[in-house]
Amino acid sequence: MITVIEARKNYGDFAALNDVTLDIPAGSLTALLGPSGSGKSTLLRSIAGLEQLDGGRIVIGGRDVTGVSPQKRGIGFVFQHYAAFKHMTVRDNVAFGLTIRKRPKAEIARKVDDLLEIVGLGGFQHRYPAQLSGGQRQRMALARALAVDPEVLLLDEPFGALDAKVRADLRQWLRRLHDEVHVTTVLVTHDQEEALDVADRIAVLNKGRIEQVGDPVTLYDRPANDFVMSFLGSVARLGGQLVRPHDIALDRSRERAQAQDARVGGSPGVVEAVVERVVRLGFEVRIDLRTDAGVRFAAQVTRAEADALGLVEGETVFARATTAPDAAEIEPALAI
């Protein structure tokens, strides 16, 4: 368990961390999610001891480490750009932390081989970092961080420099790795999809403060405020309320839309709009809409729903929310 208690960090007049209090359960994979400049890296680096707090405390596994040096905190750290030792083989890079701790050679060899298997670099012991892909290098970095049996693994945008496909593969892989080794892991990311996909807990940061902490489903379905809702997925503003695009139903008939809408308590009402574009995104279809007042929003429906609706550009439709903030238990009514 990591506990951050009323952490404050200032850069001049600027408060990068503003009384942050956070519990990170032992064995969890927790994401620190927020926009650029929200304080994610500052919080991670403070947990690591790479930044000194101006106020507050950090407790790791029951030990107050606030004044303790990074080397003595029992952490492994992986950065976005991993600085590998270029002149050392993959095996020696991963062994580094064990070698400087003067562990017996046989133990090092066994452990490094095991770790390289776990991170999927079994056949790469004798390669040099320059002979690895970006994704392989980051996996080597993770193996190196894990080699010294850290109590806590801290990852600062570890896949940030890689392309989208490799990122998606690596986060699946990280999830499986975490299920296997169970080390308490904190992952900094600005990518909501990455956080929702990989983490079992997410702390959303904004301007040096924590907006909400919870599991991905709770944050997505029950965001504490508009910031969390907007940051965790796309939203549309419908009649003054924020609504997820896939929680919008469209109908050609105003009367039918109104009748269905009456079943959703506290809904923003029925909004008339013109179809600007119909965009097919594989299984889903996005319908870009514009109201008379010029407000643009999008609805997302399945391909079957889109086909049934048969909407064409320029046509007028009636949009309504299928869920309202306090009515999540009401069955979403059929779109048509």
Ligand X SMILES: Nc1ncnc2c1ncn2[C@@H]1O[C@H](COP(=O)(O)OP(=O)(O)OP(=O)(O)O)[C@@H](O)[C@H]1O
Least distance between ligand X and beta carbon 219 (Å): 17
Least distance between ligand X and beta carbon 328 (Å): 31
Q: Which is nearer to ligand X, 41 or 93 (CB)?
A: 41
What does the alpha-carbon distance between residue 281 and residue 315 come to, in Å, rounded to a whole number?
20
Site for ligand X in 156-175 (CB under 6 A): none
**The dihedral formed by the CA atoms of 31, 34, 36 and 40, expressed in degrees to the nearest 10:** -50
Contacts 24+ apart (CB under 8 A), 93-101: 93/129, 93/140, 93/144, 94/140, 94/143, 94/144, 94/147, 95/147, 96/144, 96/147, 97/144, 97/147, 97/148, 98/147, 98/148, 101/148
Site for ligand X in 3-42 (CB under 6 A): 11, 16, 34, 36-42
Q: Which is nearer to ligand X, 128 or 227 (CB)?
A: 227
Site for ligand X in 180-219 (CB under 6 A): 190
Site for ligand X in 91-150 (CB under 6 A): none
User: Cβ distance 210 to 21 under 8 Å?
Assistant: yes
Q: Which is nearer to ligand X, 17 or 146 (CB)?
A: 17
* Sequence letter at residue 2: I
Q: Which is nearer to ligand X, 42 or 260 (CB)?
A: 42
Least distance between ligand X and beta carbon 140 (Å): 23
Residues in contact with 242: Cβ distance below 8 Å, sequence separation at least 6, in sequence order? 226, 229, 230, 235, 236
Least distance between ligand X and beta carbon 163 (Å): 18
Question: With binding defined as CB under 6 A, does residue 46 bind ligand X?
Answer: no
Helix 90-100 to helix 134-147 angle (10° resolution) is 20
Q: Which is nearer to ligand X, 45 or 139 (CB)?
A: 45
96 vs 106, 147, 200, 255, 303, CA distance in Å?
Answer: 14, 9, 31, 71, 53
Q: Which is nearer to ligand X, 34 or 268 (CB)?
A: 34
Q: Which is nearer to ligand X, 198 or 319 (CB)?
A: 198
Site for ligand X in 48-67 (CB under 6 A): none
Q: Are strands 296-302 and 2-11 parallel, antiparallel or unpaired?
A: unpaired
Least distance between ligand X and beta carbon 195 (Å): 13
Least distance between ligand X and beta carbon 161 (Å): 13
Which DSSP helix (H) or strand (E) runs through 139? helix 134-147
Tell me, by CB under 6 A, how many residues bind ligand X: 11
Least distance between ligand X and beta carbon 189 (Å): 8
Q: Where does this chain bind ligand X (CB under 6 A)?
A: 11, 16, 34, 36-42, 190
